[in-house]
């Protein structure tokens, strides 16, 4: 069976101005990097961009977050050449754990090629030089925003999630001091009222993303704007999940094999938004999270709505396995 290439160099080498600069400084402009080039790169850009003290801070707080699953750990968030709110928390986590022999995958809402994913990937690659892949199973670190990959992750992988709003109690308690106390006292009644109200207003649980979950029966945790569909994949997962909120200066984590239970009522149990009758128009799968896209009609004709897999690399892989070819563009007619 045809398998996709696990390692794909997404960025052309000539695009790396830093490498060209290093080549000039070291006097060798050969394709093969000279040993001294690594040292020059280190002086120009620290490995993983941020300084070692900052990395140590992030690592220490990450360890604390892993030790207390689901607990929001404050950390000294650094400025990065990315606006806060555009993945600085996830970036700092990735920069603090990445090693030269890692294989990185960066996705945004399941998509390898969205603007946010491409920008962050470029930054990480230019400041670390690590290889990049789109294959979820091959990557050692997966940085993601708003999605958990479809393919099951394993013990030797780390999933880093970018978090815009870390505290699940923010909807019901805007004061951080008070919500911290509520977490300490397990005072989660207001979020239950929020869910009760959701049932009363819509007749069912209408929280489609950021679904609140209870971690190890102790801490209420925000699943980030990941769809409700992804919440079950956190339960007893083999992988370490790290969540970084750069703007809110919080890290939290789900270590491997941790109980993660979505909040639910006895008469309104938790359900995913999966609809088996819908399937991806590219790969034909109906067991993945699908997103709706508008397809422009040919020659100015009327377009239509279509469903595609949110996880593009998984979709590509499925097409490749089924047909041996890459995906073709879906037509509006």
Binding site for other proteins (CB under 8 A): 172, 181, 184-187, 189-190, 192-194, 196-197, 199-200, 264-268
Q: Based on the residue annotation, tell me whether 309 is a catalytic residue of this protein.
A: yes
Residue pair 248/185 in contact by the 8 Å Cβ criterion: no
In the bound state with other proteins, the residue whose beta carbon lies nearer, of 106 and 191, is: 191
| Minimum CB–partner distance for residue 265 and other proteins (Å) | 5
CA pair distance 106, 82, nearest whole angstrom: 15
Q: Percent helix, strand and coil across the chain, each rounded to 5?
A: 35, 15, 50
Q: Based on the residue annotation, tell me whether 283 is a catalytic residue of this protein.
A: yes
CA pair distance 209, 143, nearest whole angstrom: 19
In the set 90, 110, 246, 283, the catalytic residue is: 283
In the set 87, 89, 246, 315, the catalytic residue is: 315
In the bound state with other proteins, the residue whose beta carbon lies nearer, of 42 and 181, is: 181
Structure tokens at 173: 């308690």
In the set 48, 89, 110, 280, the catalytic residue is: 280
Exposed e or buried b per residue across 150-176, where buried means at least 16 C-beta atoms within 10 angstroms of its C-beta? beebeeebbbbbbbbbbbbbeebbeeb
In the set 23, 48, 70, 90, the catalytic residue is: 70
Residue pair 166/72 in contact by the 8 Å Cβ criterion: yes
Is 22 in a helix, a strand, or coil?
helix
CA pair distance 199, 211, nearest whole angstrom: 14
Q: Based on the residue annotation, tell me whether 244 is a catalytic residue of this protein.
A: no
Q: Based on the residue annotation, tell me whether 129 is a catalytic residue of this protein.
A: no
In the set 48, 87, 244, 309, the catalytic residue is: 309
| Minimum CB–partner distance for residue 157 and other proteins (Å) | 35
* DSSP, residue by residue, 240-279: EEEEEETTTTEEEEE-TT--EEE---SSS-------TT--
| Minimum CB–partner distance for residue 176 and other proteins (Å) | 17
In the bound state with other proteins, the residue whose beta carbon lies nearer, of 1 and 200, is: 200
| Minimum CB–partner distance for residue 187 and other proteins (Å) | 6
In the bound state with other proteins, the residue whose beta carbon lies nearer, of 201 and 325, is: 201
In the bound state with other proteins, the residue whose beta carbon lies nearer, of 115 and 193, is: 193
Q: Based on the residue annotation, tell me whether 226 is a catalytic residue of this protein.
A: no
CA pair distance 166, 116, nearest whole angstrom: 19
| Minimum CB–partner distance for residue 183 and other proteins (Å) | 12
Please identify every residue annotated as catalytic: 70, 280, 283, 309, 315
């Amino acid at each position: 069976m045809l398998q996709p290439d696990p390692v794909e160099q997404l960025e052309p080498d000539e695009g790396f101005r830093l490498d060209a600069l290093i080549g000039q400084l070291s006097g060798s402009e050969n394709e093969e990097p000279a040993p001294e080039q690594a040292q020059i790169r280190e002086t120009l850009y620290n490995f993983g961009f941020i300084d070692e003290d900052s990395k140590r801070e992030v690592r220490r707080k990450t360890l604390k977050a892993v030790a207390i699953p689901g607990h929001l750990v404050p950390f000294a968030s650094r400025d990065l050449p990315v606006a806060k709110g555009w993945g600085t928390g996830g970036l700092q986590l990735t920069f603090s754990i990445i090693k030269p022999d890692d294989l990185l995958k960066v996705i945004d809402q399941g998509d390898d090629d969205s603007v946010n994913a491409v920008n962050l990937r470029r930054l990480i690659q230019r400041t670390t030089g690590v290889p990049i892949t789109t294959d979820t199973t091959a990557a050692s670190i997966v940085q993601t925003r708003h999605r958990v990959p479809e393919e099951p992750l394993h013990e030797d992988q780390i999933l880093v999630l970018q978090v815009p709003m870390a505290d699940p109690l923010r909807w019901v308690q805007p004061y951080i001091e008070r919500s911290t106390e509520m977490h300490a006292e397990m005072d989660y009644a207001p979020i239950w009222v929020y869910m009760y109200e959701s049932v009363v207003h819509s007749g069912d649980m209408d929280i489609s993303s950021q679904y609140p979950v209870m971690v190890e029966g102790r801490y209420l945790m925000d699943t980030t704007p990941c769809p409700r569909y992804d919440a079950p994949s956190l339960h007893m997962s083999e992988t370490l999940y790290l969540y970084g909120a750069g703007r809110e200066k919080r890290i939290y984590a789900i270590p491997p094999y941790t109980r993660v239970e979505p909040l639910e009522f006895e008469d309104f149990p938790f359900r995913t938004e999966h609809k088996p009758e819908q399937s991806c128009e590219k790969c034909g799968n109906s067991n993945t999270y699908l997103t709706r896209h508008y397809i422009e009609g040919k020659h100015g004709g009327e377009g239509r709505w279509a469903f595609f897999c949110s996880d593009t690399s998984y979709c590509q892989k499925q097409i490749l396995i089924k047909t041996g070819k890459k995906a073709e563009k879906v037509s509006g007619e």
